Chain A
Amino acid sequence: MTTPPADSIPEGRWPGLRRWLMSTSPGSRRQARLGRAYLAWLSFMENRLAVVGLAIILLLITTAALAPFIAPYPPNSPDLSERLTPMSGAHWLGTDELGRDILSRIIFGSRLTLYVIVLVAIIAAPVGLLIGTVAGYAGGWLDAVLMRITDIFLAFPKLILALAFVSALGPGIENAIIAIAITSWPPYARIARAETITIRNADFIKAARLQGAGPTRLVWGHIVPLCLSSLIVRVTLDMAGIILTAAGLGFLGLGAQPPLPEWGAMISSGRKYMLDQWWVAAMPGIAIFVVSLGFNLLGDGLRDVLDPKAEGR
């Protein structure tokens, strides 16, 4: 994106701030950084679908944070007299086989979804980043060994491997998270390694090395920050897959255990009543769909902004 000449910048609500951000000759490092972030933000905002995605994710986070205040009923209070009632004013999305309000359970379930994706990202992304940058920077036999391990993990079907891990560790949401994390790091290692190799021989790395920076400092301080943007894009795009895998494990009875209001497990329990009381299985599925759609849209938008090389792929 090219910066338009200063006189053509339209006057916004804070013309001074805008001019400062868009300045072609920033006075400080911070001004340059904020200016670039502002430009990225502008180009992100132009992508309407990405903004929709961001809105969905923000909605998910707000819902999860405020669940006890938004939900009309507690998530786990059975009321057998209200069993399997259809959608009504009292229960917007109906009730399930134990008479629990489905809307409230979906609202509380957003916490579990958020919990899963945040933990998987926190575990898998740094592992992949570390392995990838170390392999790419070190080269030689260390690179060969690490990449071989990565390839082996990449060659496995993810869901099957996660199934096998969960079956060994025992069902439960924590074990599902561990299993998904174990199967998700390899692509991150690949990306980080590819980025590292292109950066490794750059002049600024040589300059830093001549100034006496050791390998740790070079990798951590100079290479990792440059890998972050493509990694963030990839992690965001993967979130949808993580949500779907977690829901799949929940559906098979291997993820979150009842009575936790996990969306996949809710679909599984609604399955028995599907032909007559379809809403029990249908509603949590819509929630899963909306959230993973949000991550897909956001990821696409971020990719266009942060990683223009990969555009259109």
Chain B
Amino acid sequence: MGAGSQTSGRGRRLRRYGRKAAALIASVALTFLGLLFVTFLIGRVVPIDPVLAAVGDRAPAEVYERVRIELGLHLPLYQQFLIYIGKVLQGDLGRSVLTANAVTTDILRVFPATLELATVATLFGVLLGIPTGVLAAVHQGRWPDQVLRVVGLFGYSVPVFWLGLMGLLLFYGRLDWVPGPGRLDVFYEGLLPAKTGVILIDSALAGEWGIFRNALAHIVLPAAILGYYSLAYISRMTRSFMLEQLNQEYITTARVKGVSERSVIWRHALGNVSIPLVTVIALSYGNLLEGSVLTETVFAWPGLGFYLTQSLLSADMNAVLGGTIVVGTVFIGINMLSDALYRLMDPRAR
């Protein structure tokens, strides 16, 4: 075997990677385009006349006509769509009627709150979900498995907003273990210079531990309720991945060699499960962004979900569609990332 055939082999492999990466990017771009098309269509079928909304219903006909042309509504639909794509790509999502800010500014302001909540919720789901999933797999069919099944069934059947309300009723209203809705007590509001917008990080950086503790107390309940869903999902997937591994021959071999049961389960099997688990965790993170809409509304958590529902109630279409685009983009991005990660980390998927 000469050196020449090796390089050509490497070249072929590189080309194959390149082609796969191109296909992935193309499919993501297409999906994103589809997202924009849907939001564009939704914006067009709204019964609210955007010109009337801008000029008011007592404007003379020539003003109306001028604004119509300014807004580009006299152009054919496909041109309007192209202009729309161009604007979105430049980060221009229009102006919110409710706050009179650019939607992009608004979203950048509220997004850290959602990020904070979803991250803490995912941590909760991962830290509890993986061990319980492993336990259920090891004790398949016995009580840990049954308990996990009940936990999962409950999670898939209970409305999250109701669970949030009941959590508030019990832990805030009756037991007084946690503070009420919101991110901070009113007393602390506005004391902290927003660097990242994530209060837990900002307060820790500023050394304001009183605020940190207050923020932590505020986030525990919403994050636990939101994280319950990722807990149910992550533990169920961990269980099924682990079951698959534990039936393989290398596990038997390790046991025969005298490797301790703990090492077999937590090192050998779980080690091999970690790659698909990463994708599961990424997916559940994306789902949390969506789940946060209802949770944030219940807990008056000033994030993207709360912003979306507030805008919905005041028929602020630019804000609603902008929020939809942002959530959709993050969702698509996370899906793509988890897919790419899986391919990168698992040699069999290359």
Contacts and interface: CB of A to CB of B under 8 A. Distances in A.
Secondary structure dominating the interface of B: helix
Given A152-B30, A297-B153, A157 B328 contact: yes
A295 to B, nearest CB: 8
B337 to A, nearest CB: 13
Contacts of A282: 162, 166, 169
Interface stretch (B80-88, B191-199, B258-266, B314-322): B314-322
Contacts of B166: 282, 285
Interface of A: 148-149, 151-153, 155-161, 163-170, 240-241, 244, 247-248, 251-254, 264, 267, 271, 274-275, 278, 281-282, 285, 288-289, 292-293, 296-297, 312-313
B271 interface: no
B331 A292 contact: no
Interface string B302-326: 0000001100110101001101100
B157 A292 contact: yes
Contacts of B328: 155-157, 160-161
B31 A151 contact: yes
29 contacts: A148-B27, A151-B31, A155-B328, A157-B290, A157-B328, A159-B291, A160-B327, A160-B328, A163-B308, A163-B320, A164-B38, A164-B39, A164-B320, A167-B315, A244-B160, A248-B161, A251-B159, A252-B294, A267-B165, A271-B165, A282-B166, A285-B159, A285-B165, A288-B158, A292-B156, A292-B157, A292-B158, A293-B157, A296-B157
B162 A156 contact: no
B42 interface: yes
Contacts of B154: 293
Contacts of A167: 42, 46, 312, 315, 317, 320
Contacts of A281: 162, 165, 169
A296 B331 CA distance: 26
Interface of B: 27, 30-31, 34-35, 38-39, 42-43, 45-47, 153-154, 156-163, 165-166, 168-169, 173, 240, 243, 286-287, 289-291, 293-294, 297, 308-309, 312-313, 315, 317, 320-321, 323-324, 327-328, 331-332, 335
Nearest to A290: B157
B35 A156 contact: yes
Given A252-B312, A267-B162, A312 B240 contact: yes
A274 B31 contact: no
Which 6 pairs of residues, A with B, have the shortest CB-CB distance?
Answer: A152-B34, A285-B162, A157-B290, A293-B157, A292-B157, A168-B42
Contacts of A166: 312
Given A157-B331, A252-B294, 12 more contacts: A152-B35, A157-B328, A161-B38, A163-B324, A167-B42, A248-B294, A267-B165, A289-B158, A289-B159, A296-B156, A312-B240, A313-B240
B153 A293 contact: yes
Tell which of A164, A165, A271 has the most Cβ of chain B within 10 Å: A164
B313 A253 contact: yes
Contacts, number: 142
A152 B159 CA distance: 27
B338 to A, nearest CB: 12
Contact of A160 (B159, B293, B315): B293
B165 A163 contact: no
A290 to B, nearest CB: 8
B31 A164 contact: no
B157 A159 contact: no
Contacts of A313: 240
B31 A157 contact: no
A253 B163 CA distance: 18
A84 to B, nearest CB: 15
A165 B291 CA distance: 17
B81 to A, nearest CB: 15
A293 B155 CA distance: 9
Contacts of A168: 42-43, 45-46, 317
Contacts of A149: 34
